[in-house]
Amino acid sequence: MKKILIFLMLLSTNLMATEITVIISGKPGGSFFDRSQMYIESLKIKGYDVKVDNIGNISQSVHAFKKTSNPTIMVFSNNHAAVNNLPHNKENFILLEYVDPLFLCGSADFVRDPKIAYSKSFPKKNLVQLLNDQGISNPKMVPYKNSGAMLKAILVGEVDFMISTQSKSLQYLKYNKGICHAQTSNKTFLNIPPFKTEHEVLPILHATVIGKNINHQIKNDIRAISQNKEFKEYRFKNKINEVDNDYNSQLKHVQQHENIWKF
């Protein structure tokens, strides 16, 4: 009888461990939303009982993440960590999925007082400083909810330029409506030069996944999911930079670059 009770207790614990909440912190059209959906589907395939908290707003999602007492994961990034008081650490860090430089794209010639789209999650004053370093004075900064919205805005002529992620910038180039003038890696990338600036290190998005109240098995499963065919095809399609898969190296890299967003 005692052995049966112990078995039932262990079985119950295992069943509870399969429940996991995925917070969707981005809106449709953005990478946060797309990546969240892929994790949701992949976790379901692995047999998890997935609960979805579709919030669609990063600050509200961070608040929900901090308050939750349930096993929870959320796609995240270093720029959000820097401004939402949720730094990456050994307790919450699951993986660094990829790194993503920012690109300045638009018309071939710089216009006077240009309208420039940027994400609400990017620090405006830092971007204005980078633009000034390129010789662009008095830019009219127009905030958008995500990179998908920025791409639509520049294609229909709402703005002259955009500062966006690599994937959406490369999509923009396919329309042959303009060029990309500069990007924030420290060397020429895809024939696009780095920003002219006095700063030695520029802001680069580090796309991460964080978790709370999760065990090692869940963490290992999520790291394995990030290497499956669907995710690899997503990164290849968007020409996203692959990263070292070692956990400690990833965490160290993310932490070192986190505060760059506050320069």
- Could you tell me how far CA 41 lies from the centroid of its own chain? 18
Contacts of 196 (CB under 8 A, 6+ apart): 133, 134, 182
The lowest-confidence range among 77-91, 136-150, 225-239 is 225-239
Q: Which residue ranges make up each domain of the chain?
A: 2-100+204-262, 101-183
pLDDT tens-digit series, residues 49-77: 999 999 999 999 999 999 999 999 999 99
pLDDT tens-digit series, residues 177-222: 899 999 988 778 778 998 887 766 677 888 999 999 999 999 999 9
What is the structure's pLDDT at 201? 62
Per-residue pLDDT band at 143 (split at 50, 70, 90): very high
The answer regarding whether domain 2-100+204-262 maps to CATH 3.40.190.150 reads yes
Domain 101-183 in the same topology as domain 2-100+204-262: yes
Task: Write out the DSSP string of 142-181.
Answer: EEESSHHHHHHHHHTTS-SEEEEEHHHHHHHHHTTS-EEE
Q: Residue 79: is its pLDDT beyond 80?
A: yes
* pTM of the full structure: 0.76
Span 101-183: which CATH code?
3.40.190.10
